[in-house]
Structure 1
Amino acid sequence: MKQHIRELLEEALPLVDIDSDFLFSELDSLGVTTILMILSKEYDIVLEAEDATPKNLKTLDAIVAMVTHKIADRK
C-alpha cells in the first residue's frame, strides 16, 4: 500500500518530496486537498478537512497509517 500511495502522490504532486520527514510543511492547501481527494477516491474512504492535520500528513508513513485506519473503520 505504501508504494502505491507514493506513486499516486508523486504523480499528482511532482514538486513535493513525498519522502520528506516534514511532508506537511511542504504542502499548500491545494496539495493537502489533492492528497485527501486522491486517497478518498482510490481507497473508497471518507477523508475530510479534520483529517488534514500535521500529524496525519507529516510523512508518507503517517499518511499510510491514516488510510489504513480509515479502511478499518469502514468495515
Structure 2
Amino acid sequence: MISKEDIRSLLEEALPLVDLDSDFLFSELDSLGVTTILMLLSAHYDITLESEDATPKNLKSLESLAALVEAKLREK
C-alpha cells in the first residue's frame, strides 16, 4: 500500500516551495509542478501517468496522489 508519507518523501526534495500539507494541493501547483509530480511518480513506481491524470481531484492531496498511484499499479 502506498502511503502519503511515501509520496511526501518523493516530492519534498523536488518541490521544496510547495506546501504538501495544503488542504488543496492542486492550488499550490503551477504547470511545472504538475509535470514534476507526474514524472516523479511515473518513474518511481514504474507506472504511466498521462496529462489526463492531472485533475484537481487526483492532485487534491497526498492521499489522493497515493490513491492514483495505487489505481495505476492495479491496472498493470
> TM-score range with shorter-chain normalisation?
over 0.9
Over residues 27-63 of structure 1, what are the superposed CA-to-partner deviations in whole Å (9 max), with x where a residue is unaligned?
0000000000000000000000000000000010000
| Alignment-derived partner of residue 35 in structure 2 | 33
Query: 7, 12, 33: which is aligned to 1:5?
Result: 7
Superposition TM-score, scaled by structure 2 size: 0.94
Number of residue pairs the alignment of both structures matches: 74
Structure 2 alignment gaps of length 5 or more: none
Q: Secondary structure at the match of 2:13?
A: helix
Superposition TM-score, scaled by structure 1 size: 0.95
Structure having greater relative contact order (Cα 8 Å, sep ≥ 6): 2
The alignment yields a C-alpha RMSD, in angstroms, of 0.7
Structure 1 alignment gaps of length 5 or more: none
1:1-75 alignment, distance < 5 Å: 1-2=2-3, 3-74=5-76
Q: Structure 2: which amino acid aligns with 1:24?
A: F
> Partners of 1:60 and 1:4 in 2: how far apart?
9
Runs of 4+ in 1 over 3 A off after TM superposition: none
